[in-house]
């Protein structure tokens, strides 16, 4: 991977070229990336590969007119051409009404998001991991499919006003889908970590295979509203739509779930269960993130929901200036956790009179931003619970459910320990009600 000095030298070369071409302000970013992956299906490897690339983006302003150009050639001639092109675009563009001078020098924390074991993947070691997974699938007489990925990048940004930052990050991930030979059962499990050596492949495979075996021959139930337990993956599949709603500008423009009547927002309102906390923290031990926002603001711990109350929305640099406040120091990741001690899923099951245990959701789409109403389907493991015990697998169901209602004060019964599902850390949830509208034949 490119070093800090090498990356910043590229930024400086483009800044110099842009300045000599007439740019009055500029920001230049460089990203060097490396990706290795292996796919398997039908209990065999299918495709596997690696790719390397570099991306250089110059954004410049000439008389408050903005131009941006991106390329993937870092030769001196190409960098010069890139800078010239950005300036040319700026010269013929209208005035950028949301121009803000680029950032000056800032102090950033040292990132915790990079591991050499991920960046320098050992092909033979990966083959052994995959071999063990496929062996487990064959032993259990299920058909395994999955994806193993290791990505690493080094990114630098420099501005004409002296801001310079450089971060490295990596991410290893593994997901496994196991399907029973008779086609009536399917199980899925996934994990990710910035340090590939900390990914528990054995557990991921065992969970997927176990779910496939236990979910065979599902029985239909009538669509309707049921108590549910959502495993962390299922929560992760829904919470992304909530985190997207925290943009302050959208809320203040009256077109988000956090918009209130009269052009106000719902900050300060207890919209969620009192045990729910949602925050961002680049230094989180399990789910660290780059300690800078996309705007270049140094990221620190930022609370979005505290004790069920909406505490902060996300202010970009531009919108913060418009609203005469500071830009947000995040979010760069999302950690959802309980104020109380976490409740294990096994305890949630024991305490459930009747309801459903849900592995994950699929094809989740936002229908209505006002209530964060989503539709989607259960997939790869759905069971009926009766009197504290798992009774039988259930045919998959389509849901139509508002996330605001799902996390509302009276609907959340128990919260588990958060698990990493990058860029989220989310717990299992036990909920009083969750609404399903039809049965799916899909396995």
Partner 1 sequence: MSIHEFSRRAFIAAGSALVAATYLPDWAEAFQAAAPDDAARAEAAEAALTRATALGASYADVRVNRYRRESIATRERQVQSVSRSASYGLGLRVLVNGAWGFAATNRVEPAAARAAAEQAVAIARANAILATRKVVLADADRVVATWNNPIKRDPFEVPLDTKVQFLMKLNESAMAVRGVSFVNSQILFVDEQKYFASTEGSRVTQRLVRTYPQFNVTAANRDTGDFQTRPVVDRAKLLGYEYVEDYPWLQDAELAGHEVVEKLTAKPVAPGRYDIVVDPTQLFLAIHESVGHSTELDRSLGLEANMAGTSFVKPTDAGKLRFGATIVNLVGDRTQPGGLATTGYDDEGVKSERWHIVRDGMFVDWQTTRELAPLVGQKRSHGCLHSDDWSSVPFPRMPNVSLEPAKTNVTFDDLFSEIKRGLYVVGRGVSSIDQQRYNFQFGGAVIREITNGKLGAMVRDAAYQSRTPDFWASCDGIGGPSTYRLWGTSADGKGEPGQTNAVSHGCPPARFRNITVLNTGAA
Considering only residues 188 to 217 of the shown chain, the ones binding partner 1 according to CB under 8 A are 188
- Among the residue ranges 12-20, 105-113, 199-207, 325-333, the one whose residues contact partner 1 (CB under 8 A): 12-20
Nearer to partner 1 by Cβ, of 284 and 360: the residue is 360
Nearer to partner 1 by Cβ, of 1 and 349: the residue is 1
Using CA atoms, how far apart are residues 116 and 202, in angstroms rounded to an integer? 21
Going by C-alpha positions, the residue among 383, 379, 373 that lies closest to residue 233 is: 379
User: CB 302 → partner 1: shortest distance, Å?
Assistant: 25
Q: For the window 43-82, what string marks contact with partner 1 as x by the rule CB under 8 A?
A: xxxxxxxxxxxxx-x--------xxxxxxxxxxxxxxxxx
Residue 433 CA: distances (Å) to CA of 225, 401, 405: 6, 10, 9
Binding-site member from 220, 263, 268, 388 for partner 1 (CB under 8 A):
263
Binding-site member from 137, 158, 176, 196 for partner 1 (CB under 8 A):
176
Q: Is 351 in the site for partner 1 (CB under 8 A)?
A: no
- DSSP 8-state symbol, 219: B
Binding-site member from 23, 26, 60, 83 for partner 1 (CB under 8 A):
83
Q: How many CB atoms lie within 10 A of CB 100?
A: 15
- Given the structure tokens 């009083």, which residue do they identify? 432
Binding-site member from 139, 261, 324, 387 for partner 1 (CB under 8 A):
261
Residues in contact with 305: Cβ distance below 8 Å, sequence separation at least 6, in sequence order: 271, 272, 276, 277, 278, 279, 311
Count residues binding partner 1 (CB under 8 A).
Answer: 120
Binding-site member from 362, 392, 432, 433 for partner 1 (CB under 8 A):
362
- Among the residue ranges 290-298, 337-345, 363-371, 423-431, the one whose residues contact partner 1 (CB under 8 A): 363-371
Q: For the window 135-154, what string marks contact with partner 1 as x by the rule CB under 8 A?
A: --------x-xxx-x-----
For 183, phi and psi rounded to 5 degrees?
A: 75, 10
Q: Is 259 in the site for partner 1 (CB under 8 A)?
A: yes
| 287 three-class SS | coil
Going by C-alpha positions, the residue among 236, 276, 273, 242 that lies closest to residue 358 is: 236
- Among the residue ranges 17-25, 103-111, 274-282, 335-343, the one whose residues contact partner 1 (CB under 8 A): 17-25
User: CB 244 → partner 1: shortest distance, Å?
Assistant: 15
Going by C-alpha positions, the residue among 359, 349, 423, 360 that lies closest to residue 390 is: 349
User: CB 123 → partner 1: shortest distance, Å?
Assistant: 4
Element at 319 (helix H, strand E): helix 317-322
Using CA atoms, how far apart are residues 282 and 93, in angstroms rounded to an integer? 36
Contact positions with partner 1 (CB under 8 A) in 267-306 = none
For 155, phi and psi rounded to 5 degrees?
A: -130, 135
Asked if 44 and 134 count as a contact pair (C-beta separation under 8 A), the reply is yes
How deeply is 307 buried, as exposed, middle or buried, from its count of CB atoms within 10 A (0-12, 13-18, 19+)? middle
Q: Is 184 in the site for partner 1 (CB under 8 A)?
A: no
Nearer to partner 1 by Cβ, of 169 and 186: the residue is 186
Contact positions with partner 1 (CB under 8 A) in 89-128 = 89, 91-94, 96-98, 123-124, 126-127
Strand 397-402 and strand 373-386: the pairing is antiparallel
Contact positions with partner 1 (CB under 8 A) in 20-39 = 20-22, 30, 32, 35, 37-39
User: CB 188 → partner 1: shortest distance, Å?
Assistant: 8
Q: For the window 331-350, what string marks contact with partner 1 as x by the rule CB under 8 A?
A: --------------------
Nearer to partner 1 by Cβ, of 50 and 389: the residue is 50
Q: How many CB atoms lie within 10 A of CB 272?
A: 24
Q: What are 258's strand-pairing partners?
A: none
- Among the residue ranges 228-236, 251-259, 278-286, 411-419, the one whose residues contact partner 1 (CB under 8 A): 251-259
Q: Is 168 in the site for partner 1 (CB under 8 A)?
A: no
Contact positions with partner 1 (CB under 8 A) in 379-418 = 379, 396, 398, 400, 402, 404-405
User: CB 53 → partner 1: shortest distance, Å?
Assistant: 5
Sign (positive/negative) of CA torsion 276, 280, 284, 287? positive
Sign (positive/negative) of CA torsion 436, 438, 439, 443? negative
Q: Is 7 in the site for partner 1 (CB under 8 A)?
A: yes
Using CA atoms, how far apart are residues 423 and 337, in angstroms rounded to an integer? 14
Nearer to partner 1 by Cβ, of 141 and 255: the residue is 255
Q: Is 5 in the site for partner 1 (CB under 8 A)?
A: yes
CA dihedral 195, 198, 202, 207 (to 10 degrees): -80
């Amino acid at each position: 991977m490119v070093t800090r000095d090498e990356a910043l030298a590229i930024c400086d070369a483009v800044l110099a070229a842009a300045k000599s071409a007439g740019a009055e302000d500029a920001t230049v970013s460089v990203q060097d990336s490396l990706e290795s992956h292996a796919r398997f299906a039908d209990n065999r490897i299918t495709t596997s590969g690696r790719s390397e690339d570099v991306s250089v983006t110059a954004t410049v302003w000439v008389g408050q007119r903005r131009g941006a150009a991106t390329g993937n050639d870092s030769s001196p001639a190409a960098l010069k051409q890139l800078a010239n092109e950005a300036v040319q675009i700026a010269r013929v563009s209208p005035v950028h009404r949301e121009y803000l001078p680029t950032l000056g020098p800032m102090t950033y924390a040292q990132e915790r998001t990079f591991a050499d074991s991920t960046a320098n993947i050992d092909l033979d070691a990966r083959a052994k991991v995959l071999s063990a997974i496929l062996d487990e699938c064959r032993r259990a007489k299920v058909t395994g499919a999955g994806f193993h990925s290791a990505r690493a990048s080094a990114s630098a940004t420099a501005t004409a006003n002296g801001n310079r930052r450089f971060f490295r990050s990596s991410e290893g991930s593994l997901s496994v889908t196991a399907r029973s030979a008779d086609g009536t059962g399917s199980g899925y499990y996934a994990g990710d970590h910035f340090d590939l050596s900390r990914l528990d492949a054995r557990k991921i495979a065992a969970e997927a295979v176990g779910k496939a075996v236990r979910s065979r021959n599902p029985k239909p139930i009538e669509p309707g509203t049921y108590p549910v337990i959502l495993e962390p993956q299922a929560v992760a599949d829904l919470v992304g739509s909530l985190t997207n709603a925290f943009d302050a500008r959208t809320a203040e423009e009256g077109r988000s779930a956090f918009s209130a009547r009269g052009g106000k927002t719902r900050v300060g309102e207890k919209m969620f269960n009192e045990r729910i906390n949602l925050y961002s923290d680049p230094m989180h031990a399990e789910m660290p993130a780059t300690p800078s926002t996309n705007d270049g603001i140094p990221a620190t711990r930022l609370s979005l929901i505290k004790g069920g109350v909406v505490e902060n929305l996300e202010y970009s640099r531009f919108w913060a200036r418009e609203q005469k406040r500071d830009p947000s120091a995040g979010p760069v990741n999302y950690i959802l956790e309980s104020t109380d001690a976490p409740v294990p899923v096994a305890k949630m099951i024991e305490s459930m009179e009747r309801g459903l245990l849900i592995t994950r959701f699929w094809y989740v789409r936002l229908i209505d931003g006002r209530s964060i109403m989503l539709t989607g389907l259960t997939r790869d493991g759905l069971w009926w619970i009766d009197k504290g015990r798992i009774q039988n697998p259930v045919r998959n169901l389509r849901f139509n459910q508002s996330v605001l209602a799902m996390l509302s004060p009276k609907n959340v019964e128990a919260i588990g320990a958060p698990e990493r599902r990058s860029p989220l850390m989310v717990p299992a949830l036990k909920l009083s009600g969750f609404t399903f509208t039809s049965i799916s034949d899909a396995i």
